[in-house]
Structure 1
Amino acid sequence: MEITRNSFVKLTYALRTNAADGELVEETTPENALEFVFGTGKMLPMFEEKLEGLTAGSEYNFEIPSAAGYGEINEEAKVDIPKNIFEVEGAIDEDLIKVGNVVPMQDAQGNRLNGIVLEITDETVKMDFNHPLAGDDLFFSGSVLEVREATESELVAAVGGGGCGSGCGCGDTAGGGCDTASCGSDGSGSGGCGCS
């Protein structure tokens, strides 16, 4: 069976950035393979486009340019936030609010998003709300392990389940959901090849 809309797909992948032999961001094996229902909007559109028509046993190797992946780095997504926003009982959790940490946040509309702490001053915390893979060309290689018709329950879960399932590129090396430290596992769709 070929990969087409509403097929259940199970595959392995290695994700590298900026070159076919670039930095390895994430890798799965047959034991922790990526599983998803094709065509339900959970994957990057070009990721699905490159996989469409493949069958179980097929190997693949392709690039997704940054513009078709997570976009270019948006300097406006780097913002200074008043430091007192992070205070709990008059103090800041210095284990959480430190340079390099990913901090779950919420915008004025209640949307959840993750920000990386770039800088801490006496008055502000500079946060970067770009996707961690923004500005990177993505290089995928791997093999298709299984393709079959999705069951009714898999279709319902894929269409109405929310979140990013087991997307790649978001720290999900276990194949079962995004690591909240590196991806929007809360349904924000902000991480992984499974979350556009």
Structure 2
Amino acid sequence: MPTITQNSAVTLHFAIKLEDGSVADSTYQMGKPAKLIIGDGSLSDNFETHLIGMSKGQKRSISLAASDAFGLSNPDNIHYMERAKFVGDTQVEVGTVMAFSGPDGVEIPGIITEIAGDSVTVDFNHPLAGRDVVFEVEIVGVE
């Protein structure tokens, strides 16, 4: 039975849970496993390291510190914008995730974290940055 190595095509189910047990992301909820190639950038190197050597049918639960999962929150990724820049039907409220154009034209998601007068604080860190997580994985197939 093939085991996962660099460049393996892997089909897997996963759940990413927070410290309190709540599910942040899960393929089980979508009812469809994820497919990826080890090394294609779909998962961080650290997540992939834990998959190497696994084979079809195996399950594993991996606790990862924030620095090993989605990284620590970077203060340089928090930006303050004028409320006037949010025009039209845009809902400007705390917790709203919006797409912003990055310097290279690629859209970057940002979460509105604070509104104070005419200033809107937008956090461009990954929503799970700074959070310890449990990565539960079930290998469905390896090619």
- What's the TM-score, normalizing by structure 2? 0.86
> Higher strand share goes to which structure?
2
Give a deviation string over 1:10-49, Cα, whole Å, max 9, x none: 111121113xx62221222394111111122221111110
Q: Which amino acid aligns with 1:76?
A: D
Match of 1:32, SS state, is coil
Match of 1:125, SS state, is strand
Question: 1:28 is matched with which residue?
Answer: 27
Q: Which amino acid aligns with 1:58?
A: Q
Unmatched 5+ residue regions in structure 1? Answer: 149-196
* Correspondence 1:50 to 2:45: no
Q: Note the C-alpha offset of 1:125.
A: 1.4
Match of 2:114, SS state, is strand
Question: 1:101 is matched with which residue?
Answer: 96
Larger RCO, structures 1/2 (Cα 8 Å, 6+ apart): 2
Unmatched 5+ residue regions in structure 2? Answer: none
Match of 1:5, SS state, is coil
Question: 1:5 is matched with which residue?
Answer: 6
Structure-1 separation of matches of 2:6 and 2:13? 19
* Correspondence 1:138 to 2:133: yes
Check conservation: 1:58, 1:144, Cα contact below 8 A.
yes
Residues 1:118 and 1:41: Cα distance change in structure 2 (over 3 Å):
closer
Question: 1:15 is matched with which residue?
Answer: 16
Give a deviation string over 1:94-129, Cα, whole Å, max 9, x none: 5x3222100100233434211111223442211111
Q: Which amino acid aligns with 2:21?
A: G
Q: Note the C-alpha offset of 1:52.
A: 0.3
Q: Which amino acid aligns with 1:23?
A: S
Check conservation: 1:98, 1:120, Cα contact below 8 A.
yes
Question: 1:84 is matched with which residue?
Answer: 84
Question: 1:154 is matched with which residue?
Answer: none
How many residue pairs match? The answer is: 141
CA RMSD of aligned residues (A): 2.0
Structure-1 separation of matches of 2:41 and 2:25? 21
Check conservation: 1:46, 1:64, Cα contact below 8 A.
no
Q: Which amino acid aligns with 2:26?
A: E
Deviates more, 1:122-131 or 1:52-61: 122-131
Q: Note the C-alpha offset of 1:143.
A: 1.4
Runs of 4 or more consecutive aligned structure 1 residues displaced over 3 Å after TM superposition: none
- What's the TM-score, normalizing by structure 1? 0.65
Match of 1:131, SS state, is coil
